[in-house]
Structure formats: structure tokens, C-alpha cells
Structure 1
């Protein structure tokens, strides 16, 4: 490039990356590229409904492999960066991947693969023709892009990609409840998106850059990093991402919309969408604006407690399984926000571990609810019963998932709650620790009630126990594509509970990378800062 302008004495190394990118570093953008191409291919073949699952699963397997390779690359080399068009930051758009982003990208890809398998059995030809697999892959484009970008405006762009895709999935089927849920979902997310965009415009006006590492440097050099305009920006971001994460008191849209679409779509939403909001909160308030996080810690604590308690009480009040699970999604968000409020290494590690756990267990629970519907023809607890007699193995799987989401040992939800309670007590936030334990207790009651009604009692409400079993013979036997992903995710729940060291290590690695951003900054600017 420098040879094109021999008469001009310019040091292009100050603006362009003149070093060729190594082949392994293309893994940085591979998840986004694979899911984007996969969505386009499935869209072109949308009329071939028999080929849709095969094409979708091929690209989802490639996505898992690319995300796994990316995580291994990060663990080997540390934080890695690729800039678009060879323009060096802060001029060029950067993809910067640390342990947190790579871990969540891999877990999200695994969940998407399970959704693709489950969809092969539960999404009919009409749903395939109107875009289930293209929308799923394009949703993963936005999710992976959000986890991997190093530019705050492009975080907004990837949010828009995943939201547009989620709208398409939400209305798939064109039924009245779906359209009603989509309106509520769309309005609240539109408000959150506008707040996000306003905050981003303000931060560009103050610093003249949208590169996350560059902003972090400039904020750290300010005399009063928690005052004035930055406090306004922090408040806008907190409200915007709290809406997207379904945190109290702006969480009412989630239980009003997540029960309306096909159950596999609800499973993907419950596993992924709110966690992207939590990820953005961690990235903004721990990596970029740590002083603002410290200043707002008490407010975030109140939001976390409210989110946990409202979620747990809401679950107790439900007799419809999908609505109950929607409130459990909200309850889990509160536990993650508790880690953000405390802000210590252990607390952030606990929040990351809990996010991984919640992605897996909530997706599995929604898919398990789908199996319940296939067996009994209803999501209403009053119309369920006798499922233990129909399938003791499935009853055991659902009980494991119930224990895990409640935070009971020896499953995956136990360890992050222990970490969060310990961090809260060490930070003298006793009420936060009490809320974590109380929400777990209430969740245990809600899930125990669900298991007893659906599995243990002999028949639906109003029948003599043991005389009537609520089964739907039209749907039996259950297709293997419905069972396999539930079993896969349950196996991960058990494994992470019995062998938590690996996820603890990744969570700690991600936490340290947020709290001490020097490695992140060095990756972006080549150690010049």
C-alpha cells in the first residue's frame, strides 16, 4: 500500500496494519461469517423444507467448531484483535475477543445447535418455509457479533441484527398471541435501543471515539470519571441494557411475550437474548466505566434484589409452565446483576459462571416444557399429571433441571450462587446475599410444585389420583430430535456441577480481563499504551 504513493513521505504504519493477518486469527470473525452465510443459504433454499434442517444443522455445527477454536486461540494467545480494512484503532472497526466473549460465544453456539436439532421435530413445514433456520442463524450472527466486537457502536449494530431476527422468529406462525407478544417485545426493545443510541452519541461527543479500549483509556485519565456527562451516559446505558436484560422494574415485557412463539424459539430467547444485555452491562460498567459502576453500585444492588424477588414470586404465582419459566429467566438475571453490583473478581466470576449456567439450563427447561406438551397436549399444570408413569427417565431429567435452576447441589447452578453469596458477604452487602438465597428457596418451591403436579400425581386436577394419566396418544412416541438436545444440555448441567473447575477458570479469566483491562488495551493498540 505504501508503494502506491512513492512521492508522499507518510508513515502508513501509524494508521494501517501492514502486517498480514495470520490464518488462525481469522477465527475472530469466523462465527459471524459462518452464521451470516448460513442464514443466506437457508434463506435461498427456504422453499425446500426437507433440506432446511440439514442445511441449518451443517452451519450450526460449523459455528460450534469455529467458536471452540476461537476460545482455544484466546486461551493460548490471550486477548486477540482484528481490525477491518487494516485501519488501526481507533480509526478502524475492531473485533476484540477476550475469554469472556469467546466463552459466551461458544456456549451460545452450542445452545443454537441444540435449538436447530429440536426445531427439526417441533417446527412444521410452514415454519421452515417462512424462515425458522435463516432467522436462527441470523440471530446467531447478531449474538456472536455482540460478544466479539470491540467497538461500542457496532455493539449497537449487532443488537439490531439479533433484534430484527428475533422479531421474525417471534411472529413465526402469525397467530394472534404471537403478534400481541411481538408488539410488547418490540416497543420495549425499541425504547431500550434508542436509549443505547443516545448514550453512544454522547460518548462519541465526549471522547471522539467508539473503540472500547480507547474509551477505557480516556476515562481512566479523567480527573472525575464518575461525574457530569459520564453519569448521564452511565444512567442511559444502565436503563437501556436493564430493559434488554429484563431487569426490575422494566421486566414486564418478558413474561408477556416469551410464552407466545413455538417452544424452541422461546428456548433460544430465554437462553440467549437477556444474557446479551447482561454481557453489555459487564462490558460497559466493568471494563469501560468502572468508576461509574462503583458510584451506582447501591442502585444496581436494589435492581438486582428486585429482579430476583419479582422473578421468584412471579414463578410461584403461575400455573402455566411457559409463563413460570419466563419469570425464572428474570430471577436469574437478578443473580447476575448482583455480581455486577459487588464488582469484585469473585463476584464478576460468579456472574459470568451464572450466565453460562443460565444459558444452558433455561434453554433445556423450555425444551423440556415442549416435551411435556408433546406428551400431554397442554402447558397448564391443572391439566397435567401422570408423566412419571409415562417416562421415569424424563421425570428424572426434569428434576435435575429443576434442582439446577434452583441452585441446589450437585448441579451447575450451585457453584455460581456460592460464589455470589460469598462475594456479597465479603462486601458487606448482606441483604444481597439474603436475596440470592431467598430467591433460590422460592425457586425450589416453584419448581418442586411443577414437578409434583406434572409428574408425581396420577392425573390432572379433578381426577382420582392414579386413575387418569394425562397423555396425548397422537404425539407419542416423542421424536428423538426432541429428546436429544434436552439430554445434551442436561449432561452439561450435570458435568458443570460435578466438574466446575473448567468453567470457574474461564469465568475467573474473563473477570480479571474486565477488571484489569491492560491486556485488552494492549491487544487493540499493540502494547503502545
Structure 2
């Protein structure tokens, strides 16, 4: 099974090269992109089943160079879960993007650029999850960020370019912080291989460990949009095309959260971070959701709720117990799926109502009842209404917090409950204004005759389920969104087995010895251990 590990990165990168060469053949590009992501999904699922059955991570030494001299790729339960979920999201969004391209006749998106860039982003994402050393993780981050710069500015509109500039500057700063942290760690330990760092960092003085941990956390916190380093996200994501926004919102911030979990549990488990992370997690929850309440644009509103729900994940990391880590992993899976699905639903809303501002939307329940159902299910799930996975994930986090009693933890539990209620309020406000409110009540309402004359006949499809009057929608767009919403429901139906899997993954993460022994089966060689590298 170890031989399958490099395929997680090789398949999308080879697919990117082929789609770039065949840029003039749109259908061939689509076939290659879909095939590549299906292959990665299947490979990751096989690896997940294998590492879950054996409990032993799959390890590959690239080029047969042993660590710490060569690159090592490690797939344990946590990495496999992240790759499987990410591949499913990328595949679903790709189908939506293909449908959108068909509906638009590719007027706004240069397809020859989109497919190779999208696959490069996928390759960087998967590389970051399975990297066994910090520098390779950095390379994965840079691959996906470089691709994201292109995807964010597709179409070349002024708003997208302005948002892209902000995003690029912030991303470059976070990358420099990450690279600087890697340099400090290498200077202190003489290695960047995480399995070896787990042994060497604990031999450093505690104050040095705190400095190194803080340096890494700051870099990851920018990528994860943790308050107060989340200022860039609400202005960057909403300007991108719907599929790009969905991928960014669902996946890119979770790479930062994954990196925080991995380094906190594997490298810095002796560093006391509970109190500062609890405070940061609570502020991220509350500031994010308060920002959402002030928004009239649905995309910006969802971007702020994205920030607020990162706070739940930081809360779980801060508690630090195996139970809390398992609940955090489940919540990450839930949030990736629900957030991606909701942004695709908003993409449908924009095409049906020709706006994402709730001040200009109305009557969509009658005009597009199926889209209304999709949004309603996603909103209830994100808001944490029983029995959806959002509720189950929050309950898991709160139970883990209650098992580690402290006044500050109880304050965070209260903040989490308030954030959940305000999330539901914000999303139901969107529902009331966009779907339930009659179109006639919208300010500046125009008669149906004028409205119909403004619609372009060639952009009206009428084939989407339940959105017969939609402008520029297609069966693929609605089908992809429906599939992701259905996947969010599966997280509820199969919550028991998924929670058990998350707890087993947390068990791996909580015992660094399992990770270290998989990379160094005979134990860390004497020549590589000890304090000589300090």
C-alpha cells in the first residue's frame, strides 16, 4: 500500500501537465481533470481503509533517500481523512464548474487555464497533508497558494484584481513567516523532518520551544484565518467565481488548521498553549459571527461565518485531549463539506436572482423551490440544529470541554452556544429576505414583463431541477450542489462510525510514538538523536 502514497500528488500534477498541453480541447481537459480527481479519491480511500485497519501510517521515502536526508511522505488516519474529504470536495466543485462553463459558454473563464491550475492546487493541497517534513509542507502550501492566485483573479474584473492583490500580499507575508519559522527550527535542531523533530524539540529549553511554536502558529494562523489575522478573508473570497470561492472557503483555511493540529500534537506537546488558544478561539468565534450579522451580501456573510467556525476548531485544539481532538477532526470534516456546499448554493442563488445582496433578492422560494430546499438544509446544518452534523460536532466539542473543567473552558462553551445561535439567526435572515419575502416587497421591484425583457434568451437554460426560470444554470450545477448537500446529510446518518474513525485518528495524533516509529521503524538512530544537534 505504501506505493500508493506518492500517487496522491503525482496524479493531479501529471493531470495538470496534460491539461495544459491540451488547452484547446475543452472536453478532453474536463475528462482528464475528472479522471484525475476520481483516481485520487479512490487511492485515498484505499489508503484510509488500510491505515485504519492496521493502525500503522503508510510511509514512503522519496527517491529511496532515508530521512532526515530525503523527503518522506506519511499517510496516517488524519492525513488520509483530510485527503479523502478534500478530493471529494474538489471533484464536486469541478463538476459544478464544468456545468457553469457550459451554461456560460465559457465566456468568463479561460478554461485552458482553469483546469491545470485547479489540479495544481489539488496537488499542493494533498502534498501539504501528507508531508513528513516542514519544508515539504511549505512547498505544498506554496503550490496551492500560487494556483489560488490565478483562480482568484479569473475573469480579470477590477474587483477580483483588487481582492487578488490583498490576498497575494497576505499570503506572501504568511509564507515568509512560515519559512522564517522553519529556519529557526532548523537552526535550533538541525532538521526539518517532523518525526525527528518530535524527539529533538523536547530536549530544547522550554522558552525556546515556546518561541519556535509561536513562530509556526502565527504563520498557520494567517492561513487558517484565526482572529486577529483573519481580516483579509471576507474581502478576498466573495469576489471570486462561485466554484473558486467554494474551494477556498471549504479547504484552504482547513490546511492551516490541519498544520496547527499536526505540529501542536507531534512537535510541541510540552508547550503550554491552552489559555492563549482558548482566548483566541473564543474571539475568533464571536468577532466572526458579529461581522456576519452586519452583512447584506450572502457571500460576505458566509465568509464571516467561516471565520467564526474556525474558532470552534481552535477551541478543540486548545483543550488538547484525545476526545477533543477527535471531535475537532469530525468538525473539520463537517465544516469543509457544509461550507463548500453552501457556497455552491449561493452560486445558484446568484444566477437565479442575479444578485447576492439580500436587499435585492426576494421571491426565490416560488421561483426556485429546489434551491430554497438546498439552502435551508445547509443553513440548518451550519447553524447546529439537531440532528445535523453541525449539532453533533459542537456537542462533541462541548463534551470534551466539560471533561476538562476550567472557568475559561466554560466561558468558551457559552461563546460557542451563542455563536451557533447567531449563525442560525444570520442564515435564517437570508432565508427570510431572499426566499420567503415576496418579490414585490423588494425595493426597486420591476414588473415581470420588464424583468423578462431584461433576461437574455440564450442564457436561460431551464433544464435545472426546480429552477426552470433560472438564468444560466445547468443540470450539472444543480446536481453537484445536491450531491454535496447529500454528503452533509451522510455525516449525520453515519455520525457514529465517523466519530469512531475520528477518535482513532485522534489516538494516532495523541501518541507521536506511532508516527515516529513508522518513519524510523528501528527507532531513531543514535547518530540522529540526542542533544548534539542543538
* Residue 434 (str. 1) matches residue 414 (str. 2): yes
* Residue 258 (str. 1) matches residue 237 (str. 2): yes
Instruction: Report the equivalent of 2:252.
Output: 273
Contact 2:19/2:112 (8 A) holds in 1: no
Deviation at 1:100, TM superposition (A): 0.4
* Residue 215 (str. 1) matches residue 197 (str. 2): yes
- Partner Cα distance (1:259, 1:446) in 2: 17
| CA 462–416 in structure 1, closer or farther in 2 if over 3 Å, else same | closer
The correspondence for 2:132, drawn from 134, 150, 157, is 150
Count the aligned residue pairs: 501
| CA 212–439 in structure 1, closer or farther in 2 if over 3 Å, else same | same
- The CA deviation string for residues 359-394 of structure 1, in whole angstroms up to 9 with x for no partner, is 111110110001111111111111111111123332
Moved more, 328-337 or 61-70: 61-70
- Partner Cα distance (2:204, 2:120) in 1: 42
Deviation at 1:173, TM superposition (A): 0.8
- Partner Cα distance (1:283, 1:307) in 2: 20
What is the DSSP-based 3-state SS (H/G/I as helix, E as strand, rest coil) of the residue aligned with 1:173?
coil
What is the DSSP-based 3-state SS (H/G/I as helix, E as strand, rest coil) of the residue aligned with 1:508?
helix
Q: TM-score, normalised by structure 1?
A: 0.91
Moved more, 440-449 or 79-88: 79-88
User: Unaligned 5+ residue runs, structure 2?
Assistant: 463-472, 525-534
Instruction: Report the equivalent of 1:97.
Output: 75
The correspondence for 2:309, drawn from 321, 332, 337, is 332
Instruction: Report the equivalent of 1:133.
Output: 115
Deviation at 1:507, TM superposition (A): 1.1
- Partner Cα distance (2:72, 2:337) in 1: 29
Deviation at 1:509, TM superposition (A): 1.5
Deviation at 1:462, TM superposition (A): 3.5
- Partner Cα distance (1:466, 1:457) in 2: 15
Q: TM-score, normalised by structure 2?
A: 0.90
- Partner Cα distance (2:256, 2:290) in 1: 23
- Partner Cα distance (1:527, 1:79) in 2: 15
Contact 2:359/2:443 (8 A) holds in 1: no
| CA 338–445 in structure 1, closer or farther in 2 if over 3 Å, else same | same
What is the DSSP-based 3-state SS (H/G/I as helix, E as strand, rest coil) of the residue aligned with 1:491?
helix
Instruction: Report the equivalent of 2:528.
Output: none
Instruction: Report the equivalent of 1:421.
Output: 398
Contact 1:458/1:467 (8 A) holds in 2: no
| CA 223–233 in structure 1, closer or farther in 2 if over 3 Å, else same | closer
What is the aligned-residue RMSD (CA, Å)?
A: 1.9
Moved more, 357-366 or 72-81: 72-81
- The CA deviation string for residues 336-365 of structure 1, in whole angstroms up to 9 with x for no partner, is 000011101111111111111111111101
- Partner Cα distance (2:353, 2:365) in 1: 12
Contact 2:121/2:147 (8 A) holds in 1: yes
* Residue 365 (str. 1) matches residue 342 (str. 2): yes
| CA 302–165 in structure 1, closer or farther in 2 if over 3 Å, else same | same
- The CA deviation string for residues 117-148 of structure 1, in whole angstroms up to 9 with x for no partner, is 00112242552445111111100101000111
| CA 462–480 in structure 1, closer or farther in 2 if over 3 Å, else same | closer
What is the DSSP-based 3-state SS (H/G/I as helix, E as strand, rest coil) of the residue aligned with 1:356?
helix
Instruction: Report the equivalent of 1:400.
Output: 377
- Partner Cα distance (1:373, 1:475) in 2: 14
Contact 1:374/1:475 (8 A) holds in 2: no
- Partner Cα distance (2:231, 2:31) in 1: 37
Moved more, 464-473 or 353-362: 464-473
What is the DSSP-based 3-state SS (H/G/I as helix, E as strand, rest coil) of the residue aligned with 1:289?
coil
Contact 2:265/2:512 (8 A) holds in 1: no
Instruction: Report the equivalent of 2:485.
Output: 490
| CA 460–25 in structure 1, closer or farther in 2 if over 3 Å, else same | farther
Deviation at 1:460, TM superposition (A): 5.9
Instruction: Report the equivalent of 1:249.
Output: 228
- The CA deviation string for residues 265-297 of structure 1, in whole angstroms up to 9 with x for no partner, is 0000001100000000001111211112xx121
| CA 430–114 in structure 1, closer or farther in 2 if over 3 Å, else same | same
- The CA deviation string for residues 442-469 of structure 1, in whole angstroms up to 9 with x for no partner, is 0000001011111111116546999979
Contact 2:195/2:515 (8 A) holds in 1: yes
The correspondence for 1:291, drawn from 262, 266, 270, is 270
What is the DSSP-based 3-state SS (H/G/I as helix, E as strand, rest coil) of the residue aligned with 2:73?
strand
What is the DSSP-based 3-state SS (H/G/I as helix, E as strand, rest coil) of the residue aligned with 2:356?
coil
Deviation at 1:498, TM superposition (A): 2.4
Contact 1:146/1:276 (8 A) holds in 2: yes
Contact 2:201/2:209 (8 A) holds in 1: no
What is the DSSP-based 3-state SS (H/G/I as helix, E as strand, rest coil) of the residue aligned with 1:402?
helix
* Residue 354 (str. 1) matches residue 334 (str. 2): no
* Residue 232 (str. 1) matches residue 228 (str. 2): no
- Partner Cα distance (2:176, 2:210) in 1: 18
Instruction: Report the equivalent of 2:164.
Output: 182
Instruction: Report the equivalent of 2:93.
Output: 115
* Residue 451 (str. 1) matches residue 431 (str. 2): yes
What is the DSSP-based 3-state SS (H/G/I as helix, E as strand, rest coil) of the residue aligned with 2:191?
coil
- The CA deviation string for residues 410-429 of structure 1, in whole angstroms up to 9 with x for no partner, is 21211110011112222221
User: Unaligned 5+ residue runs, structure 1?
Assistant: 1-23
Moved more, 208-217 or 497-506: 497-506
What is the DSSP-based 3-state SS (H/G/I as helix, E as strand, rest coil) of the residue aligned with 2:74?
strand
- Partner Cα distance (1:105, 1:131) in 2: 24
